[in-house]
Amino acid sequence: MTQVTKRNATKFLKDEYDELVKNHFEWNIKILESGSTPHAIVNGKEIIMMCSNNYLNLSNHPRLIKGAVEAAQKFGAGSGSVRAIAGTMKLHTEVEKRLARFKRTESALIYQTGFAANSGLIPQLVGEGDIVISDELNHGSIIDGVRLTKADRAIYKHRDVADLEKVLKDADRKYRRILIITDGVFSMDGDIAPMDKIVKVANEYGAMTYVDDAHGEGVIGPDGRGIGAHFHIEGKIDVEMGTFSKAFGVVGGLIAGSQDLVNFAYNKSRTWLLSGSHPPAVAGAQLAAIDVLETEPQHVKRLWENTKYFKKELNTLGFDTGESETPITPVIVGDSGKAKELSNRLFTEGVFALPIVFPMVARDRARIRTMMNAGLSKQDLDFALHAFEKLGKQLAII
């Protein structure tokens, strides 16, 4: 008779959690008791919101709320199916048409989330005999998408096109397809991928280009049209991926590109084929978000005015804001413990901004990551700056 191992099947759950707690790596999640508004109630306290992705404050825009409510009243709370079977409503196709127009691409496709777009599409674009070439600081959802492929992988130095070209040269003769993939705006530092140069070098080697513009959509480029518009290379990036969960203020992943891309993507992505489609309220709000971006340029304008003011004042106070070129402004502190302490004290003062520490960034580059919001007033920004100044001095950061 064989001996069966006596194992405790679930002991690891507590062990691993305890280990996280011991190393201060666990999430202590704060609870919003209001909407995600520029002045929000979090854990019972009124704070100035500086860590949401709701850049344009569209999640609270009356037109988006109306779009959601009316769509729910007309078409119900759920869609009833996956898109491929019986879950494609006219509303969904309307969003895709409007989105393609907004992005100035031939076509567009909506996924449930940006994460589902990356994890569903990337493994279909490349497989055995192919290679994916990634920026070293790409988002986790790209990394997971790449893990699902049988393709080889290579990494190039952050935003370094010369290094990318070295990798391309080496890959050129060895592989069938080559996919270059990068974040558009990098979420930890707020810097922008040199997409014009990446597209140029990709064209020389016959490589595909894929940009994850989650933090660029609604933020960079004229009227917030994203990274293609920012570099005046609209329609030249093979896959522009993005999300409705950030500046657009709703939820939902998107890709924009050629009709060939869209036909391929929806027939092949398992996350698209095998997961329920958005409820009508989501599609109704998405449509309204595109409407607002096309007709109310003041939100993007305000976002950038706020960003420029806040960054300039932080630098004047002596803070290091790294390489940021966007409304993601890191306040670099160095030590992890200090970053956490600064975040806690900011919260006590009424400013909600989270620390980003190792392993998300290098050990000596811990920071507070501030995210700008178009709904914050100058008075709000001065309030936050005053708190940063006072606490920065207390903690000997400035």
Ligand X SMILES: *Cc1c(COP(=O)(O)O)cnc(C)c1O
Applying CB under 6 A, the site for ligand X has a residue count of 13
299 counts as binding ligand X under rule CB under 6 A: no
Per annotation, catalytic residue among 103, 215, 278, 311: 215
246 is catalytic: yes
| Site of tokens 């679930």 | 10
378 is catalytic: no
Per annotation, catalytic residue among 230, 246, 278, 299: 246
165 counts as binding ligand X under rule CB under 6 A: no
Exactly one of 79, 113, 119, 370 binds ligand X (CB under 6 A); that residue is 113
- Build a one-symbol-per-residue string for 116-145: x at contacts with ligand X by CB under 6 A, - elsewhere: -----------------------x-x----
Exactly one of 123, 226, 253, 330 binds ligand X (CB under 6 A); that residue is 253
* Shortest-Cβ-distance residue relative to ligand X: 114
Q: How far is the CB of 219 from ligand X (least distance, A)?
A: 11
- What values do phi and psi take at 356, rounded to 5? -120, 120
Question: Quick one: 107 or 141, whose CB is closer to ligand X?
Answer: 141
Residue 356 is classified by DSSP as: E
Q: How far apart are CA 26 and CA 28, in angstroms?
A: 6
Cβ atoms within 10 Å, residue 321: 19
Which of the ranges 109-117, 154-162, 296-304, 310-318 carries the binding residues for ligand X, by CB under 6 A? 109-117
215 is catalytic: yes
| Cβ-contact 293, 286 below 8 angstroms | no
343 counts as binding ligand X under rule CB under 6 A: no
Question: Among 88, 129, 78, which residue's Cα sits nearest to residue 109?
Answer: 88
| Cβ-contact 190, 310 below 8 angstroms | no
Question: Quick one: 113 or 370, whose CB is closer to ligand X?
Answer: 113
Q: How far is the CB of 85 from ligand X (least distance, A)?
A: 23
Question: Among 89, 385, 139, which residue's Cα sits nearest to residue 246?
Answer: 139
Positions in 177-236 near ligand X (CB under 6 A) = 183, 187, 212, 214-215
Task: Provide the residue count of the chain.
Answer: 398
Q: Which amino acid is at 391?
A: L
Burial class (CB in 10 A: 0-12, 13-18, 19+), 15: exposed
The sign of the torsion formed by the CA atoms of 12, 14, 18, 24 equals positive
Q: How far apart are CA 102 and CA 291, in angstroms?
A: 9
- Catalytic (active-site) positions: 187, 215, 246
Which residues contact ligand X by CB under 6 A?
113-115, 139, 141, 183, 187, 212, 214-215, 243, 245, 253
